[in-house]
A = this chain, B = another copy of it.
Amino acid sequence: MKKVALVGYGYWGPNLLRNYIELPGAWVQWVCDSRPEALAKARSRYPAVAGTTDYNEVLGDKDVDAVVLATPISTHFPLAKEALLAGKHVFVEKPMTGSTADAVELVNLARERRLTLMVGHTFVFSPPVRKVKSIIDSGELGEILFVTSSRVNLGLHQKDVSVVWDLAPHDLSILHYWLDETPNSVSVAGRACINPGIPDVAFINLRFPSGVLAELQVAWLSPVKLRRTIVVGSKKMLLYDDTESVEKVKLFDHGVDFKDPETFGEYQLSYRTGDIVSPKIAGTEPLLIEATHFLECLDTGARPITDGLAGLAVVASLEAADYSLHHQGCIQTIDTGTTGS
């Protein structure tokens, strides 16, 4: 039984708390939030959990094995660092930090102290994303050629960070996971439509060492909510649509054909696809799988799938993307600042 403390009970914290409360292997010792009314809310629902506004009280509690940080991005680095220095394992929400340098420091610190550092890239634990990973790894798609992704919302804006920092961590962590590589370079075109200085729409082009080209659309402003990723391989293609309730992943045969100017076909309607298969996917909540994974890593000392290096790779990609976004879409090299694990 691992004793954890949840820090931050705002937008996302309640989801984490609910899952850790119901996990047999965890005991939630503390909920910590600087706002007393947030604590009151948490404790009205779970009266058995102790509340505090003082982070030091949490870190000073020798029974606490790990802290789970669900606070604003700007606080991730200092809170995680303090926790590691206090000998606590750390689970921190995505993105891990606000800068590559901070991310490197956390990675090194965790390594030196032999503590577990895991990042909440939840989609990596979602059943459809894992299904796609297993399809890619099986070679069924052939060589991956390009990826497109649309993650656009109906109007929920952030006041402090750009849409790149808000939404792109999902797609970056998914792509890094699927492709087992970090992009070499990125260029971004975007615009701040509503709040001056805070881009709310961005088109992100990524180049991977393997040659994969990826294009991510992220926006807070769209008439329709889209969560649609297309992966085109040399043998097959797939569509992952997270807004679909049943057919989240669909596999398609290739349909390469050439428009021959010498033939006399009238307006060609043929669809040269073969069978389309939508594999069965479990309905398990990703957060539950993620929390279970964190506890297992605490027990076994194994490195989490979304460990500090995975978090660092996402932060480095975000930093380069943000630089390009603010420098006329220049092509920016991505540097993770480390020489491997």
Contacts of A1 in B (CB 8 A): none
Q: Restricting to A212-242, which residues have a CB under 8 Å from any CB of B? A: 213, 215, 217, 219, 221-225, 230, 232, 234, 237-239
Contact across chains for A35 and B258 when beta carbons are under 8 A apart: no
A191–B205 Cα distance when bound, in Å, is 12
A155 touches which of B35, B194, B257 (Cβ 8 Å)? B257
CB closest chain-B residue, reference A238? B223
CB closest chain-B residue, reference A37? B264
CB closest chain-B residue, reference A194? B256
Can you tell how many copies of this chain the complex includes?
4
Contact across chains for B283 and A270 when beta carbons are under 8 A apart: yes
A293 close to B (CB within 8 Å): no
A15 close to B (CB within 8 Å): yes
Contact across chains for A262 and B35 when beta carbons are under 8 A apart: yes
Residues of chain A at interface, number, CB under 8 A:
85
Report A's interface with B, CB cutoff 8 A: 9-12, 14-15, 35, 37-38, 41, 47-48, 72, 145-146, 148, 154-159, 187, 189-191, 193-194, 201, 203, 205, 207, 211, 213, 215, 217, 219, 221-225, 230, 232, 234, 237-239, 243, 245-247, 250, 252-259, 261-280, 283, 328-329, 331
Additional A-B contact list (18), CB under 8 Å, known A15-B266, A243-B245: A10-B264, A11-B265, A72-B261, A148-B217, A154-B271, A154-B272, A154-B273, A155-B254, A155-B273, A156-B268, A156-B272, A191-B211, A193-B234, A203-B203, A221-B254, A223-B273, A245-B271, A270-B283
